[in-house]
Amino acid sequence: MILVTGGAGYIGTHTCTELLNSGYDVLVLDNYSNSSPLALDRVERITQKTLIRIEGDARDPDLLDQLFANYPIKAVIHFAGFKAVGESCQIPLAYYHNNFYSTLVLSQCMQKAGITKLVFSSSATVYGDPEVVPLTEAMPTNPANPYGRTKLMVEQMLQDLAASDALATDNPQPWGIALLRYFNPVGAHQSGLIGEDPSGIPNNLMPFITQVAVGKRDQLDVFGDDYDTPDGTGVRDYIHVVDLARGHVMALERLLDDQITGAEAINLGTGLGVSVLDMVNSFTNNNSVAVPYQIADRRAGDVASYYADPSKAFDMLGWSAEHTLSDMVTDSWRWQKNNPEGYAD
């Protein structure tokens, strides 16, 4: 059985779906601070399988001790956390508490229970403003905001934890930790039943585009067209959330069979740079729906261009992205069209 913290969220639901389809038993721990239990009903509908769900907080050591004592948990995937860069500048302590402290408590409880296989949701934001692209895992990390720093601090803590194995005399189970650095997750499950359901005004490009397309917002602001990129707009590495979910299952399998030990940072991206206007045009052409936009000022803190070198994921996990940009825009639109109000529908 796999414990999935934050399993009711955007990436969590897609990963639970892949886990159940691959034959794993799944226990979700979520406090629903940014999600709905209805999302887990949809996962069960897609897979025709049930999962165990516990409403609770990933920072609660007593609850974690109970779960590890009462269920045959072999590994943990830790998604629970906050993820909005802007908000992390306004309420940094809440971010350090939910992102860093939750992982500290979770790792302590895992150690106590003798469970040493962990997949952690890191982020490409740990790289900060890169000097060169594509980004390899060996390149310097220098996050530009509190959110990115919570992720880097967790990575460092988990690297220290894994390194402590070499000094332990009584530790039969070595740590195996995958620090998955996601680039820009977009898209939705092909069924149209699960997808991204942001609360309030979306910060990210894809949910903003889909909300303009469905008529919830008038137009998209394209943040800057004077970057040093082919069309002047920002370039990112967008990855389909189902590919991302598959990456988690593949990492988990390598951890469980001890092919990965220690703590390994691994990029999950396509290796392709896509501009804001490429994305708008692809969305419009594939879905035959208009996305009115205007060029606006640059957004503070944005960088011109970043995308992954995903070769380590291929070498270590045998993983590479399979979905195209056209799949991403088609699946995002299907989800939005079928669920204009997200899970509230």
Distance CA 321, CA 269 (A): 7
User: What is the residue type of 147?
Assistant: Y
Least CB distance to ligand NAD at residue 217 (A)? 19
Least CB distance to ligand NAD at residue 79 (A)? 4
Distance CA 168, CA 328 (A): 46
Site for ligand UDP contains 221 (CB under 6 A)? yes
Least CB distance to ligand NAD at residue 154 (A)? 9
Closest residue to ligand UDP: CB criterion: 234
Query: Residue 107's binding partner, choosing from ligand UDP, ligand NAD, none, with beta-carbon cut-off 5 to 8 A by kind?
Result: none
Query: Residue 307's binding partner, choosing from ligand UDP, ligand NAD, none, with beta-carbon cut-off 5 to 8 A by kind?
Result: none
Which range, of 25-33, 134-142, 153-161, 215-223, touches ligand UDP by CB under 6 A? 215-223
Least CB distance to ligand UDP at residue 278 (A)? 11
Residue 117 sits at φ, ψ, to 5 deg, of -115, 120
Least CB distance to ligand NAD at residue 30 (A)? 4
The nearer residue to ligand UDP, 236 or 312, going by C-beta atoms, is: 236
Query: Residue 81's binding partner, choosing from ligand UDP, ligand NAD, none, with beta-carbon cut-off 5 to 8 A by kind?
Result: ligand NAD
Which range, of 16-24, 54-62, 129-137, 221-229, touches ligand UDP by CB under 6 A? 221-229
Span 284-303, contacts to ligand UDP by CB under 6 A: 299, 302
Least CB distance to ligand UDP at residue 32 (A)? 24
Least CB distance to ligand NAD at residue 311 (A)? 20
The nearer residue to ligand UDP, 6 or 185, going by C-beta atoms, is: 185
The nearer residue to ligand UDP, 4 or 280, going by C-beta atoms, is: 280
Out of 135, 205, 249, 252, name the contact with ligand UDP by CB under 6 A: 205
Helix/strand/coil (H, E, C) string of 31-61? CCCCCCHHHHHHHHHHHCCCCEEEECCCCCH
Site for ligand UDP contains 222 (CB under 6 A)? yes
| Residues paired with 53 in a beta bridge | 28
Distance CA 133, CA 181 (A): 15
Residues near ligand UDP (CB under 6 A), total: 14
- Given a contact cutoff of 8 angstroms between Cβ atoms, the answer to whether 325 and 237 are in contact is no
List the strands of the sheet with 262-268, edge to edge: 52-55, 26-30, 2-5, 75-78, 117-123, 176-182, 262-268
The 3-state DSSP class for residue 76 equals strand
Distance CA 130, CA 334 (A): 34
Tokens representing 87 are 């908000």
Strands 2-5 and 75-78: parallel
Distance CA 338, CA 340 (A): 6
Out of 134, 176, 234, 342, name the contact with ligand UDP by CB under 6 A: 234
Out of 223, 253, 295, 337, name the contact with ligand UDP by CB under 6 A: 223
Distance CA 193, CA 101 (A): 32
Tokens representing 251 are 């990492």
Alpha helix (H) residue ranges in the chain: 10-21, 37-47, 61-70, 85-90, 92-95, 102-113, 146-163, 205-213, 241-256, 276-287, 311-317, 325-338
Active site residues: 147
Question: What residues line the site for ligand NAD (CB under 6 A)?
Answer: 5-6, 8-12, 29-35, 57-59, 79-81, 83, 98, 102, 121, 123, 182, 185
Which range, of 15-23, 54-62, 167-175, 202-210, touches ligand UDP by CB under 6 A? 202-210
CB atoms < 10 A from the CB of 165, how many?
A: 16
Site for ligand UDP contains 276 (CB under 6 A)? yes
Residues that bind ligand UDP (CB under 6 A): 184, 203-205, 208, 220-223, 234, 236, 276, 299, 302
